[in-house]
Amino acid sequence: MSQVIVTGAASGIGRACAEVLVAEGHHVALWDLVPEVLDVAAGLGMTGQIVDVTGDLDAPVAVAAETLGGLSGLVHAAGRVAVEPVGAFTAASWDAVLDVNLRAHALLVQAMLPWLQKATNASVVAISSIEGLAANPFIPAYCASKAGLLGLTRSMAAQLGPEGIRVNSVCPGFIITPMIQPALDIDEIRIGFEQAAPLGRMGQPVEIAHAVAFLLSDKASFITGTELVVDGGLICKH
């Protein structure tokens, strides 16, 4: 049994992670910027918290720890993307992507540390992306944030391993969620996404959630400092 914060839990991958973790018997605090998270949490019989992960984290972490009776896990699924090639992004739009995707993960682990240090089988999972492993010319800030998560994962795993805290990332391929819906609305792009992976389709959020649940579980007790690619084989092709 674990006590897990899931960010980005109102939608897509974060919501699926919360659903799978609750089904497996974990206690989950569902966090999101949008109030819909309260309904999702209520539907699961869990606590919802409206939290902007770019803001203060100490107070909401303390609330989650109090409500759940401790904290042993984190799934950082909150994320944003900006289709802004070099020449288009601004300092502000760059920061907006990096702050949610990367900086928030570091600061959230920091805020949770006193509880993670007390927990048994403490485990942290960041939702990175195949865009952190391979080039996408249209979303440089997003690629930088997702590659940054992989470096951050390795650094935190090296530091926190001696305390029994495992730190890993999951790298999804193309997953059908609201984040990529604008691209899916364009037939040519949707068909390209479907055909890009050897498995010949895009993924469902629950298929990422099962990988996350594995990394959080004690079945992954010797796995830390690495990433699990869940992409239908997309990046193994050249």
Contact (Cβ atoms closer than 8 angstroms) between residue 44 and residue 17: no
- The Cα-based distances of 236 to 121, 134, 143, 189, 229 in angstroms read 31, 10, 18, 20, 10
Alpha carbon distance 168, 230 (integer Å): 13
125 binds ligand NAD (CB under 6 A): no
The answer to the question of residue 97 lying near ligand NAD (CB under 6 A) is no
The Cα–Cα gap between 161 and 139 comes to 33
Identified catalytic residue from 89, 115, 142, 193: 142
Host H or E run for residue 167: strand 165-172
Find all residues with CB under 8 Å of 187, minimum gap 6, and list them: none
Give the nearest distance from C-beta 6 to ligand NAD in angstroms: 10
**CA 51 from centroid of its chain's CA atoms:** 15
What is the closest distance, in whole angstroms, from the C-beta atom of residue 171 to ligand NAD in the complex? 7
Scanning residues 18 to 57, which ones bind ligand NAD (CB under 6 A)? 32-34, 51-54
Q: Which helix (H) or strand (E) holds 87?
A: none
Q: Applying CB under 6 A, which of residues 63, 82, 179, 189 lies at the interface with ligand NAD?
A: 179
Q: Which of 2, 5, 6, 7 binds ligand NAD (CB under 6 A)?
A: 7
Residue 59 interacts with ligand NAD (CB under 6 A): yes or no: no
- Unique residue bearing structure tokens 């990422």: 208
User: Does the protein bind ligand NAD through residue 232 (CB under 6 A)?
Assistant: no
Does residue 67 bind ligand NAD (CB under 6 A)? no
H or E element, residue 86 = none
For position 82 contacting ligand NAD by CB under 6 A, the verdict is: no
Examine residue 180 and tell whether it contacts ligand NAD (CB under 6 A): yes
Q: Rule CB under 6 A: is residue 61 a binding residue for ligand NAD?
A: no
Q: Which is nearer to ligand NAD, 12 or 73 (CB)?
A: 12
Q: By CB under 6 A, what part of segment 128-157 binds ligand NAD?
A: 129
Determine phi and psi for 133, rounding to 5 degrees.
Answer: -115, -30
Give the residue, chosen from 2, 3, 5, 14, that forms a contact with ligand NAD under the rule CB under 6 A: 14
The yes-or-no answer on residue 201 being catalytic is no
Handedness of CA 153, 159, 161, 164 (dihedral sign): negative
- Cα 5 to chain centroid distance, Å, stands at 11
State yes or no: residue 175 binds ligand NAD (CB under 6 A). yes
182 part of the interface to ligand NAD, by CB under 6 A: no
Which residues make up the interface to ligand NAD (CB under 6 A)?
Answer: 7-8, 10-14, 32-34, 51-54, 77-80, 100-101, 127, 129, 172, 174-175, 177-180
Active site amino acids? 142
